[in-house]
């Protein structure tokens, strides 16, 4: 095992206000579309709980709607009602019992509310399809501009409705506190409500919420300030943004630096740096998709706004993650789909980096069994390649 003074940066603790994360590995919010009436269930307990067993420092619940009609998909979780607190608390308790911190991402889908699950095609549902479910659905945005050809034209929010939306975020934050969450993240990216206010491509308003960049940032900054005031001072607040929204002449990286500075001044602790998603058009992405393709956004915002950042996007192994941290490009590493592929990613990264050669950091119910088997595996030189060879031989 690597001595403490040689500990990889990926496995150094990080203190955020009153919370000290045991490492820099974060499980990114990932929509599961598996809730009924916005209630987390057994699927969510197992889905999120396995990441705690897998060794992550911080685990985020998927995009969690602040209003029933603000869901991305019809079976998304929510915190718009008190009955949704207790199911989340059961998950929070399990994650805490297994050594990890847990956060929840609060979101309003805005003009992109109401879509199929990915395994159903992931397409926008028509308003007729949404109303067939017998639930109140309404797409809203800054202006009557659709998110793409498949999406219905949203209703432009009135000033009174904007005020009501701000209160929805505050109420959801208070419920998150009752559920025992350690961290809140506000979803201001991927073309959802606040992102649509930020971009000049979707925000055509002529009042105090439109026009200049200052005005277009107003709703996001107001929500962040409202939530920061309602969320306990000792608990951290993250904000996910699309550093570039992917549209021609849309929201860009320089805009994100200004926004990040303002969010930091309000009391936001970490900027979670994603990209794209404003509309069906994403041709103007600054970099092609590839390994760590969004890391340059995290690095730039971290340096220019002097704020902690979280890198996310095709980060596949421990060595890649460690290099990002060592080079000062991020403070936290978010793993998404790679954690679905390998829920024990943090443990395997620790092993690859020479930090946990003896399974010391695995759950007690797992580690001793693996340690007991280790000499045999070493003797047999039983590696992934040998498994493939064995499978290929027909044995």
- Active-site positions read 192
217-to-66, 144, 202, 223 alpha-carbon distances in Å: 20, 18, 13, 10
Distance (Å, whole) CA 159 – CA 226? 16
Q: Which two tokens stand for residue 55?
A: 């060794």
Q: Beta partners for 102?
A: 59
113-to-3, 26, 33, 138, 264 alpha-carbon distances in Å: 49, 26, 13, 8, 28
Neighbours of 367 (CB within 10 A): 16
Residue 189: how many CA atoms within 13 Å on its side-chain side? 25
Distance (Å, whole) CA 218 – CA 201? 16
């Amino acid at each position: 095992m690597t001595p403490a003074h040689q500990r990889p940066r990926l496995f150094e603790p990080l203190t955020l206000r009153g919370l000290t994360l045991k490492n820099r590995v974060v499980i990114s919010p990932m929509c599961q579309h598996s809730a009924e009436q916005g209630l987390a269930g057994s699927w969510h307990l197992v889905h999120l709980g396995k990441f705690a067993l897998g060794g992550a420092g911080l685990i985020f619940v998927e995009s969690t709607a602040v209003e029933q009609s603000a869901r991305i998909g019809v079976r998304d979780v929510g915190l718009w009602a008190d009955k949704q607190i207790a199911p989340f608390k059961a998950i929070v308790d399990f994650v805490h019992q297994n050594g990890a911190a847990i956060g929840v991402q609060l979101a309003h889908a805005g003009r992109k509310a109401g879509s199929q699950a990915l395994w159903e095609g992931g397409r926008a549902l028509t308003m007729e399809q949404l109303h067939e479910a017998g639930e109140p659905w309404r797409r809203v945005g800054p202006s009557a501009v659709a998110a793409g050809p498949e999406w219905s034209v949203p209703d432009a929010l009135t000033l009174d409705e904007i005020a009501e939306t701000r209160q929805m975020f505050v109420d959801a934050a208070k419920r998150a506190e009752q559920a025992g969450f350690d961290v809140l993240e506000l979803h201001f990216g991927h073309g959802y409500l606040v992102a649509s206010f930020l971009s000049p491509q979707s925000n055509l308003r002529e009042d105090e919420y439109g026009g200049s960049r200052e005005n277009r940032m107003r709703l996001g900054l107001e929500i962040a300030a409202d939530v920061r005031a309602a969320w306990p001072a000792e608990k951290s607040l993250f904000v996910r943004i699309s550093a570039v929204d992917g549209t021609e002449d849309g929201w860009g990286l320089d805009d994100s630096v200004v926004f990040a500075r303002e969010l930091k001044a309000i009391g936001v602790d970490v900027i979670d740096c994603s990209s794209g998603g404003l509309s069906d058009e994403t041709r103007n992405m600054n970099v092609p998709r590839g390994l760590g393709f969004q890391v340059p956004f995290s690095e730039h915002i971290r340096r220019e706004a002097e704020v902690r950042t979280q890198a996310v996007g095709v980060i596949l192994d421990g060595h890649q993650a460690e290099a990002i941290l060592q080079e000062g490009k991020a403070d936290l590493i978010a793993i998404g789909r790679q954690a679905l592929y390998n829920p024990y990613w943090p443990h395997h990264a620790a092993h690859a980096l020479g930090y946990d050669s003896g399974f010391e950091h695995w759950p007690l119910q797992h580690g001793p069994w693996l340690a007991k088997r280790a000499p045999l595996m070493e003797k047999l030189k039983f590696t992934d390649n040998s498994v493939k060879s064995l499978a290929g031989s027909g044995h």
